[in-house]
Amino acid sequence: MPFVELDTNLPAGHVPAGLEKRLSGATAAILGKPEDRVNVTVRPGLAMVMSGSAEPCAQLLVYSIGVVGTAEENRGHSARFFEFLTKELKLGQDRILIRFLPVEPWQIGKKGSVMTFL
């Protein structure tokens, strides 16, 4: 069950319409998870500084069970997410950061329980 959060200082009017749905589909394809399990949040217009600069930038946080736990996995995921984000947001790779955070099934609550038992 991936959770993807895209934070950017781009104004909402500069974020392509429907980005959240396309990011959901891209996340499913990149991580090999069913899209009906992907959760996406897009937060534009934030006050952000990256590498000492307030120029347009974005940070992507990717939380998931079982598919973001190694450098080898994340190197492949990173390349594909960067390809998607640079195209969609029109930002250079030096203005995008990605954080991969593995989570355990017991850390995600759903339907009054946790994923361990569902």
User: What are the residue numbers of the active site?
Assistant: 2
Query: What is d(CA 52, CA 110) in angstroms, rounded to the nearest whole number?
Result: 39
Residue type, 71: A
Relative orientation angle of helices 71-89 and 19-31, to the nearest 10 degrees? 160
Element (H, E) at 28: helix 19-31
